[in-house]
Amino acid sequence: MRLAELSERSGVSTATIKYYLREGLLPPGHQINATTAEYDEEHLRRLRLVRAMIQVGRVPVATVREVLGHVDDDSLPRAIRLGAAVWALPQVPEPDADDEFVQAAHQEVTALLDQLGWQNAKRLTSLSPAYRSLVVGVAALRRLGYDFGTELLTPYAELMYRTAVLDLDNMEAHSSQQEEQIEFAILGAILNEPVLQALHRLAQEEETTRRYGLE
């Protein structure tokens, strides 16, 4: 397809597509002559991914470029490509290592991983933004006087593991191609997490009404 058709099918203006091409967010099209290039379904799929990351996820262009670099690096094993791509998304800042609540949260989260038997996750704690986010959250709760320790976290973690299994099952059902699977996982990190959060809140509303009624 030509640029105009790519624009029409994606809903992205030709000017924006040209900008994405200049920034390296889209691979160049197949050059027909000095002024014309052809694009295919892979360009359309990548364009939709880029658009979702920038418009919905509010991910900066430089970060999008970094994420896509990991997606396209087929020299890495799939788990590493997937992890590196998701880790490149915007994350919480590094917590203050000298903060007593952060130190206590590190101990709680490490104990949680041990209890769950998540040794792969434990080996990646120095790199994982998810580990860092959990530590920040637990530290904030402890600072407010809530002892959200291993006993309370374990059932939540077990539910999240079942969710992760569903995520990967859906990813594998979506495509057998590693690149498409990783793109699907990135979209999941950007789009699916707000959906899960909304479902969580709806479930809370439902259970609250069942327990206490509306009066």
pLDDT values of the chain reduced to their tens digit, one per residue, 215 residues: 888 898 999 888 999 999 999 999 998 888 888 778 899 988 998 888 888 888 877 888 888 888 888 778 778 777 777 776 677 666 777 788 888 999 999 999 999 999 999 988 777 776 788 888 899 999 999 999 988 888 899 999 999 999 889 888 888 887 777 777 777 877 777 777 788 889 999 999 999 999 998 77
Q: Do residues 152 and 56 both lie within one domain?
A: no
Q: Do residues 59 and 110 both lie within one domain?
A: no
Of the three residues 29, 56, 87, the one that is the final residue of a domain is 87
Is residue 94 situated within a structural domain?
Answer: no
Q: How far is CA 48 from CA 10, 40, 44, 99, 124, in A?
A: 7, 13, 6, 42, 31
Specify the pTM: 0.72
Q: Do residues 105 and 207 both lie within one domain?
A: yes
Q: How many domains does the chain have?
A: 2
Residue 164 lies in domain: 100-212
Is residue 95 situated within a structural domain?
Answer: no
Q: Do residues 106 and 29 both lie within one domain?
A: no
Q: Do residues 133 and 30 both lie within one domain?
A: no
Is residue 174 situated within a structural domain?
Answer: yes
Of the three residues 87, 112, 136, the one that is the final residue of a domain is 87
Is residue 206 situated within a structural domain?
Answer: yes
Rounded Cα distance, 36 and 30, in Å: 9
Is residue 93 situated within a structural domain?
Answer: no
- Where residue 68 sits, what CATH number does that domain have? 1.10.1660.10
Q: Do residues 83 and 109 both lie within one domain?
A: no
Of the three residues 87, 120, 150, the one that is the final residue of a domain is 87
- Written as one letter, the residue type at 144 is L
